[in-house]
Each structure stands twice: as structure tokens, then as C-alpha cells.
């Protein structure tokens, strides 16, 4: 005896195969296009999920290391390498400041990251403002990189149902045309055409629904990463101000 879930799957598969085989060339082309679009959308969602997960883990690892130090430039002067968006913002801002500041301290001390070199650094408010702007600009650039391919996923969400509807309307029109040509109005005449026409709508919804859910989840994750980048850019520049402007002479 075939289990009920297996029977349902078999019936669904046979229905899909029957509907596809009875579709005209346009309906088959729409179904094939939707299947290709579904594969493309799923590949984007899986790739973005891995990318965002790695970005969150790298950001958490770097932020923990940064907050363990007593000086905002400590990680940079020690030459410790980190990956991820926060580390990229940090390095860009540090390099903008250290281009001038390193000339006022001994290179060996800067590379070693000694406390004496940190204490001898002199940074002007103009340099701090430059670091702030560069950190903010780097955060915006990284946000744009994270947003890559999200537009394609949004296109799949919006276009798939309408493409399926187009295939359905075309199939219904073709079924009525065949019915008019035969001169008979029987269920056996119109059922194959209607079944093939409705298949495109079903496939379109099966493409759009997972893509919509994935797009919303990925957009939420991307917003959190962008917020973390903005917060770190503000935190880092505030730490520089406290270290060099607010400290007693």
C-alpha cells in the first residue's frame, strides 16, 4: 500500500507532467523560464545567506577584539589582521590618520604598537574629521556591495507572478481558440488547454513565494549589518576624540 504522502507526491508529479505536456509552446517556454528563474533566485539566496552570516561573524569577532584594547589605534599599530566590514572601515580610517601621524613618531614604535608610540601620537581635529568622513564613506560603499544581487532577487519576486499570469491568459486564449475552431463545448476539449494554462500561474507562485520570504529575511539581515557598520564608524571616531582631544595635556 502506498503511503498517503507518497500518493500525494505521485499525483502532484503526474498532474504537473500532464499539464506541461498539454501546454502549447508559449506555456512551456514560460514554465522553463520560471524554473530557470527559480534556480537563479535560490542560488542568490544561498550565496547571500552565507555572505551575511560570515559578515556578522567577522564583525562580532573584530568588535570583541577592538573593545578589549585601551586605545583606538592599538589593533592597527600591532598589525593584527581581521576580516569583515568593520575591520575594513577600521583600517581605512586608521590609514587616513596614520599617513600624517606616522611621520611624527618613530616607525619602529608604530609597527610594534608600543604604549610610548601611542602616547606620542598627535592628531588634530581636522584629521579626526577626515577619519570620520572616510569611515562613513567606507560603510556606505560596503553597504552597496552587500546590496549586490538583491535587486535581481526583488525582480524575481515581482516578475514571477505576472509572468505566470501571462502564461495563463495566453493558454486560456489558446484553449478558447481551439474550442471555437472545433465548434464543440465539452470539458474534454478545454480541460487540457486550461490545465496547461494554469500550470504557469502555479509555477509562478512557487517561484515568487520563496523568493519573497528570502528577500525579506535577507533585507533584514543586511539592514542589521549596515547598522552595525554605522554604529562602529561612530564609535571609533568618538574613541579617537576621547583619546586625543578630551585627554588632559
Give me the tens of pLDDT residue by residue for the chain, a chain 249 residues long: 445 455 444 555 566 666 666 677 777 888 889 989 999 999 999 999 999 999 999 999 999 999 988 888 888 888 788 899 999 999 888 887 776 554 445 444 544 545 455 555 667 777 778 888 888 899 999 999 998 889 889 998 999 988 888 888 887 777 777 666 666 666 566 666 677 778 888 888 889 999 999 999 999 999 999 999 999 999 998 888 887 765 444
Q: Quick one: three-class SS letters along the chain?
A: CCCHHHHHHHHHHHHHHHHHHHCCHHHHHHHHHHHHHHHHHHHHHHHHHHHHHHHHHHHHHHHHHHHHCCCCCHHHHCCCCCCCHHHHHHHHHHHHHHHHHHHHCCHHHHHHCCHHHHHHCCCCHHHHHHHHHHHHHHHHHHHHHHCCCHHHHHHHHHHHHHHHHHHHHHHHHHHHHHHHHHCCCCHHHHHHHHHHHHHHHHHHHHHHHHHHHHHHHHHHHHHHHHHHHHHHHHHHHHHHHHHHCCCCC
Confidence (pLDDT) at 104: 47
pTM: 0.77
Confidence (pLDDT) at 12: 52
Confidence (pLDDT) at 224: 94
Confidence (pLDDT) at 61: 93
Confidence (pLDDT) at 72: 86
Amino acid at each position: 500500500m502506498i503511503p498517503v504522502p507518497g500518493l500525494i507526491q505521485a499525483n502532484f508529479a503526474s498532474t504537473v507532467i500532464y499539464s506541461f505536456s498539454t501546454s502549447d509552446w508559449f506555456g512551456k517556454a514560460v514554465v522553463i523560464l520560471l524554473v530557470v528563474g527559480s534556480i537563479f533566485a535560490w542560488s542568490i539566496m544561498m550565496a547571500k545567506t552565507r555572505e551575511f552570516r560570515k559578515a556578522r561573524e567577522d564583525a562580532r569577532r573584530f568588535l570583541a577584539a577592538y573593545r578589549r584594547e585601551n586605545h583606538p589605534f592599538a589593533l592597527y599599530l600591532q598589525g593584527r589582521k581581521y576580516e569583515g566590514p568593520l575591520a575594513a572601515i577600521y583600517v581605512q580610517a586608521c590609514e587616513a590618520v596614520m599617513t600624517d601621524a606616522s611621520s611624527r613618531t618613530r616607525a619602529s614604535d608604530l609597527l610594534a604598537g608600543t604604549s610610548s608610540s601611542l602616547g606620542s601620537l598627535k592628531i588634530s581635529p581636522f584629521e579626526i574629521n577626515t577619519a570620520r568622513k572616510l569611515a562613513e564613506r567606507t560603510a556606505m560603499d560596503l553597504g552597496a556591495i552587500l546590496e549586490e544581487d538583491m535587486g535581481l532577487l526583488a525582480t524575481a519576486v515581482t516578475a514571477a507572478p505576472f509572468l505566470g499570469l501571462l502564461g495563463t491568459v495566453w493558454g486560456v486564449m489558446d484553449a478558447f481558440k481551439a474550442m471555437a475552431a472545433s465548434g464543440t463545448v465539452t470539458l474534454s476539449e478545454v480541460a487540457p488547454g486550461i490545465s496547461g494554462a494554469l500550470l504557469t500561474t502555479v509555477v509562478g507562485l512557487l517561484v515568487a513565494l520563496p523568493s519573497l520570504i528570502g528577500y525579506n529575511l535577507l533585507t533584514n539581515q543586511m539592514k542589521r549589518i549596515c547598522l552595525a557598520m554605522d554604529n562602529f564608524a561612530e564609535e571609533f571616531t568618538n574613541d579617537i576624540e576621547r583619546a586625543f582631544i578630551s585627554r588632559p595635556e
